[in-house]
Every structure is written in C-alpha cells, then in structure tokens.
Amino acid sequence: MMGVALPSIRADLGLSTSSLQWVVSAYVLGYGGFVLLGGRASDLLGRRRMFLLWLTVFLLFSGLGGLATDGWMLVVARFVTGVAAAFMTPAGLSIITTTFAEGPQRNRALLVYAGIAAGGFSLGMVTGGLLTSIDWRWVFFAPVIMAALILAAAVRLVPRDTPATSAAGGYDLQGTLSLTGAMLLLVYSVVMLPDVSAGQTAATAAAGVALLVLFVTIERRSRTPLLRLGLLRSAPLLRANLGALLLLAGFFGFQFIAVLYLQEFRGWSELQTGLALMILGLDAILAPTLTPVLVRRFGNGRVIVAGLALSAVAYALFLRVGADWTYAAMLPTFLLLSTAFALAYGPLTIAATDGVAEHEQGVAGGVLTTSFQFGAALGLAVVTAVVVGRSGTDGAGLDAFRTALLVPLAAAALGILVTASGLRRRGTTSAPAEAVLERT
C-alpha cells in the first residue's frame, strides 16, 4: 500500500527524496535480512508461537508508523514491521505445509493461500490509493485492524505444535549471525543501488558475499545447522526460487513504472491511480479457482512457464505507452498481468516446498520468502536506477519509462528460460495429470 501513498507522506512530513526512499527500503531491509532466520526460528521454537508473537509486533509497529510525526519514527517503524514480517511469513506458510499432507490436498491449500497473497500484492496498491485519498496514515492503521482480526482468529484456529527445543547442539549462533549479516548487506546493496556510487555498492555486496561464504563454511561443520546445505542442492527447489525472484522483480518493477506514469507524468490522483490498477486484483479470484484446474490438467511446471510467458507479453504491450493513452489501451496489459501472476505465484510456492521434510518447512518457506522479497527489491532498484538515469531536468518522460520497461521484460524472459529447463529435464510423459501434480 506504500506505493501510491509516498507522495502524500513526503508532503506531510517534509521528507527529501532520499529520506522517502527509506520508508520503503527500511521494510525491505528488515524483511529480507531476517527472513531465513525467521524460517528457522519457526521450526525450532514453534510455528504457532512465532506467528502469534510477531503478528503482535507487526500490529504494534504498524500503528506506530501511523502515529509518526517525523521521518525517523516512520523509518524505524517500517524496519521493525519488516522484521516482524520476516518471522511471521515463513511461520504462516509452514503452518499450512505441515497441517496438510504433501500432494493434492496440500497443493489445493497452497493455491488458496497463494491466491490471497497474490491479491494482497495487487489490491494493496488499490487500497493504498483509496486510503491515501482520506489520509495517508490509514495506510498504517488499516493493517492494525486487519492484524487484530487475524490475531483473534489465529489464537483459536491455528493448531498447536511442539517446538524442537530439545535439538542437540544448540541453535547455531555463529551461522545465525553470519547469515543475518550477509542478508542485511546484500539487501542494503540492492535497495541503495540507485543512490550510491558503484564502488560503495560493490564494497557492501562483497562484504555480504564474504559473510555468505563464512556462513557456508560454518554450516558444513555445524551439528545443528541453521540451514541444511543439502536443501539448496535440489535443482527443482533452486529453479522455483529463482523463478519466484524473477517473477517479483518484474511485477514490482512494472508497478513502480505504472504508478510514476499515471501520477507523475499524467497527473492522476492517488484515488484515480488506485482505481486504474484495481483490475490487477483479479489474481485473487483466478489463483484459487482457475490455477488449481490448470495445475491438475497440465502440471505445475507448465503452468509456471505459461504465467511467466503471459507476463512477458503484458510488459511488451506496455512498451508502446503514449502520452495520452486511454485506459482501454492500458487494460490488456493489466488483464494479462493479473492472470500471469495468478498462474505463476501459487505453483511456484508449491514447487519451492514440495519434497521438503516437515521439520524444514519453515526454512523452505524462509528461502522462498527471501526469493520473493529480494526479487521485489532488485526489480524496484534496477527500474529506479534506469528511470533516474534516463530522466531529464523535467523529470521522467516516456523514453525513460519505455527503457525501464525492458527490465521487467528481461526478468520475465529469464524466468521462462529457468523454469522451462525443468520441463526439458522431465521430458514428455503420458502419466496422468494427478501423477504429474504429485511429482512437481
């Protein structure tokens, strides 16, 4: 919901452009930096416990963001809500994957989950526009109300689980610190890409990679590793996570371009922008209804490739964007993109958690969430850098938008190549569709 609210936040709090960027980046930094730790914590300390605890933290600090009277208060609130999401999201996903047995039943549950999540991505921008037209602070207060309702329901409905606190060897503190430091530095390098020199970006990225190497070394020697390295040797899981990264990189990069075009270039209001993008919310309907039928008929892999292919077509159509485009001219891209996201998001979630032992579902969910979040940050950072680099003294123009659109288009094309390679490995088969679904 932040996307369309940022101009109003800047005007009310008197923030500079660089300070405003941290309203988004602080959340991404907290989320991306701690999500793998959050996934492991849910496996070790209890999924229900982590979900309820960090949902409460999310609720409190989202409310604090709405009460902020200065930029630093808002940035701190956003960072802590990002950390809360980093612990809460993999816990929530692993509650689903451990409640339902692997196979068609879990797949159906995950597709419903993915439909709601996909709707959140798309409807968030629409809702943000509607709330900002009232007061930008409602962008923070509305999640407080939603989180309170979820918390009340979760206390009664989420099943209790047994924390693995008796695991021999402790909690791999060295691995935790090195991985968290690595993720923070790598995400920081990405989110700051448009605003710092290439040398500074290279330095922070190199430090992050060095900590990542240290983490791998520690995990190889640890009796109770934070992340079992064998999990990362699975080619299907790697393809699913890379596909997830590229899907979100393209989707968030495109959303940013669309908002700039509608608000900054065309002069549309937050409410008009939100209503224009409302059609993207169709994925919340398509994901739990159309996608399961297609997955049962054609298999997970083919549906993922089809979704990424549709997103590539959607981005390519928007390359013709004009100064006086009607909404009818934009509509094909929005319709294709909502369908593409509905087809790819859920099956990628299934593929990234299939075949993973129950005691590692939290970690698998954390890895997937990292891929989603890092992809969103990367797509946003690269698109921002292109728009800024191509903008003139009067701001971003059509040439800047068209050049930036090549970024999500390239991400979709790479996603097709990565995920389609799994289809080639499997080869053609005459197995029944349900059996294909079981293997995916």
Residue in the structure block whose two tokens are 């899907």: 247
One-character DSSP codes across 224-236: S-SS-GGGGG-HH
CA atoms within 13 A on the CB side of 140: 23
Residue 425 and residue 338 share a domain: yes
Which residues, 6 or more positions from 334, have their beta carbon under 8 angstroms from its beta carbon?
277, 279, 280, 314
pLDDT at 325 over 80: yes
Residue 300 and residue 347 share a domain: yes
Distance CA 47, CA 301 (A): 29
Residue 166 domain-assigned (yes or no): no
pTM of the entire predicted model: 0.79
Residue 245 and residue 108 share a domain: yes
Intra-chain end-to-end CA distance of the chain, in Å: 33
Distance CA 239, CA 266 (A): 39
pLDDT (tens digit, 9 = 90+) per residue, 186-219? Answer: 878 877 777 778 899 899 999 999 998 998 898 8
pLDDT at 55 over 90: yes
pLDDT at 432 over 70: no
Residue 209 and residue 138 share a domain: no
**pLDDT, greater one: 120 or 132:** 132
Residue 119 and residue 60 share a domain: yes
Distance CA 255, CA 187 (A): 20
Using DSSP, how many helices (H) and how many strands (E) does the chain show?
A: 16, 0
Rounded to 10 deg, the angle between the 327-353 and 300-318 helix axes is 150
Residue in the structure block whose two tokens are 């962008």: 139
Average pLDDT, the chain: 84
Residue 250 and residue 354 share a domain: yes
Residue 254 and residue 121 in contact, taking contact as beta carbons nearer than 8 Å: no
Distance CA 261, CA 281 (A): 19
Residue 224 and residue 168 in contact, taking contact as beta carbons nearer than 8 Å: yes
Number of structural domains (the chain) is: 2
pLDDT (tens digit, 9 = 90+) per residue, 355-378? Answer: 887 777 777 887 888 888 888 878
pLDDT at 120 over 80: no
* Least confident range of 69-78, 169-178, 323-332, 429-438: 429-438
Tell me the average pLDDT across 34-45: 83
Residue 364 and residue 241 share a domain: yes
Distance CA 364, CA 93 (A): 9
Of the candidates 204, 225, 246, which is a domain's last residue?
Answer: 225
Residue 184 and residue 29 in contact, taking contact as beta carbons nearer than 8 Å: yes
Type of residue found at 174: Q
pLDDT (tens digit, 9 = 90+) per residue, 230-249? Answer: 777 888 889 999 999 999 99
Residue 361 and residue 94 in contact, taking contact as beta carbons nearer than 8 Å: yes
pLDDT at 413 over 90: yes
Of the candidates 180, 209, 225, which is a domain's last residue?
Answer: 225
